[in-house]
Amino acid sequence: MRVLVVGSGGREHALCWALAASPLLDALFCAPGNAGIAEQAACVGIAADDIPGLVAFARAERIGLVVVGPEGPLVAGLVDALQAEGIKAFGPTAAAARLEGSKGFTKDLAARAGIPTAAYGRFADAAAARAYVAAHGAPIVVKADGLAAGKGVTVAATVAEANAAIDAALGGRFGAAGASLVIEAVLAGEEASFFALVDGRHALPLATAQDHKRACDGDQGANTGGMGAYSPAPSVTPALAGQVMDRIIEPTVAAMAAAGTPFKGILYAGLMIGADGPKLLEYNVRFGDPECQVLMPRLMSDLLPALIATCDGELKRFSLRWYDDPALCVVMAARGYPDAYQKGSEIRGLAALGGIPGVTVFHAGTAREGERLIATGGRVLGVTATAPTLAEARLRAYRAVDCIDWPGGFCRRDIGARALA
């Protein structure tokens, strides 16, 4: 099969790395890809949001499966456009991608289906939003409805802070994404993530994985896309995973199918685990990044047939096998990330990593300038290691990090600490 992966991050590198090992693969392309992906796939210079360009390429190259990495093109209808041309595509249609594209849509669905989640209201009007905050008091959570690059949520400690978040969002800080709001109660507990393949009717949970969202050690500092991850996540016990499937994932899949917008692809639930069990914070409709970088090295089964079975509605009789060995990924980012950061610094030393067992470096924002490897993004490398124990995987990953000569970069030194504690 000829496969096209869409995206250019560490997640897409991990997907290409796993797909490249499939005996069913005839050719692998990635649009637009990065310097690391170029080692597994032919990179083509088409942006991930160029829907007509991607459809034309897939048609011309007789692509049998398109695997869409990021949420933007999913919400914008890339899968619909490919399917209209008869091209198989992994990921939800635009209607199903509303689970990530509109927080209000997801809250209403959860309310209708009896899925546990925080009490909430939806607002497009500042006076009504402020009145809701005044009635409920602080702390309270204010969320832009649409895609806001992870910056649309304010957990407000005071009413004044909540009102400021309302004014900022409705005043245009997030563009159209902030034109309406969800305001909801603060939930207490431990956060956890949960991933499942969904074929429209059936859900197949993946191995567990957890990221670290904050920029600095000790889970301090600004929120980021994710500074590292580990798998398995000990906090998601088999009993908890069963509750998440029964109370959250399965009812969501059923509600989407009943509405005539069946969900196919990866459903990634952000959860709060409280005293009364798991509650839904949000959905993403794609693999997590960097969670994907720790899931793929642990996947023993061939990824390609799993993605095809998802597209074809055949997950019911499907199972996946995983290696027992844990995996841990340390993200190296450009100094300054997630705020303004420098581009163009050189990265050296990757060739020396071959000597450390179990280490794979997934690239995100990298490019080649001649022989030189150059940092071009905020998150740049995902240094990933597997080992018989999580502690050993962490040692290996940081040993590799310490071999990389990149003065322009930084990483957290405590990835996995919560799982090891």
Q: Nearer to ligand AMP by C-beta: 223 or 237?
A: 223
Residues 6+ apart with CB under 8 A from 186: 118, 139, 140, 141, 155
Nearest-approach distance from CB 157 to ligand GLY, in angstroms: 24
From 97, 211, 227, 363, residue interacting with ligand GLY (rule: CB under 6 A): 211
Q: Nearer to ligand GLY by C-beta: 291 or 302?
A: 291
Instruction: Bin 157: left if φ > 0, else alpha if -120 < ψ < 50, else beta.
Output: alpha
Span 222-241, contacts to ligand GLY by CB under 6 A: 225-226
The count of residues interacting with ligand AMP (CB under 6 A) is 12
> How does DSSP assign 325-370, residue by residue?
S-EEEEEEEETTTTSS-----EEB-GGGGGGSTTEEEEESSEEEET
CB 169 within 8 A of CB 104: no
Q: Nearer to ligand AMP by C-beta: 217 or 282?
A: 282
In 217-314, the DSSP E strands lie at 220-223, 228-231, 264-274, 277-284
Partnered with residue 43 across adjacent β-strands are: 30
Q: How is residue 7 written in tokens? A: 């995206």
Element (H, E) at 6: strand 2-7
Judged by beta carbon distances under 5 to 8 A according to partner kind, the member of ligand AMP, ligand GLY, none in contact with residue 282 is ligand AMP
CA distance 248 to 254: 10
Nearest-approach distance from CB 226 to ligand GLY, in angstroms: 3
Span 106-125, contacts to ligand AMP by CB under 6 A: 118
Q: Is 155 in the site for ligand AMP (CB under 6 A)?
A: yes
Partnered with residue 120 across adjacent β-strands are: 184
Q: Select the residue whose beta carbon is closest to ligand GLY and give its number.
A: 226
The contact pattern for ligand GLY, residues 161-200, with x = CB under 6 A and - = no contact, is ----------------------------------------
Judged by beta carbon distances under 5 to 8 A according to partner kind, the member of ligand AMP, ligand GLY, none in contact with residue 25 is none
Q: Is 281 in the site for ligand AMP (CB under 6 A)?
A: yes
Span 28-67, contacts to ligand AMP by CB under 6 A: none
Judged by beta carbon distances under 5 to 8 A according to partner kind, the member of ligand GLY, ligand AMP, none in contact with residue 281 is ligand AMP
Classify 419 as helix, strand or coil.
helix
Span 282-341, contacts to ligand GLY by CB under 6 A: 284, 288-289, 291
Phi, psi for 322 (deg, rounded to 5) = -125, 150
Residues 6+ apart with CB under 8 A from 354: none
Phi, psi for 71 (deg, rounded to 5) = -75, -30
CA distance 276 to 289: 29
The strands making up 2-7's β-sheet, listed across from edge to edge, are: 42-43, 27-32, 2-7, 65-68, 89-90
Judged by beta carbon distances under 5 to 8 A according to partner kind, the member of ligand AMP, ligand GLY, none in contact with residue 284 is ligand GLY
From 270, 277, 305, 358, residue interacting with ligand AMP (rule: CB under 6 A): 270
The contact pattern for ligand AMP, residues 167-206, with x = CB under 6 A and - = no contact, is -----------------x-xx---x---------------
The contact pattern for ligand GLY, residues 245-284, with x = CB under 6 A and - = no contact, is ---------------------------------------x
- What separation, in Å, do the N-terminal and C-terminal C-alpha atoms of the chain show? 44
Q: Nearer to ligand AMP by C-beta: 16 or 156?
A: 156
Nearest-approach distance from CB 292 to ligand GLY, in angstroms: 8
Classify 199 as helix, strand or coil.
strand
Judged by beta carbon distances under 5 to 8 A according to partner kind, the member of ligand AMP, ligand GLY, none in contact with residue 12 is none
Binding residues for ligand GLY (CB under 6 A): 211, 225-226, 284, 288-289, 291
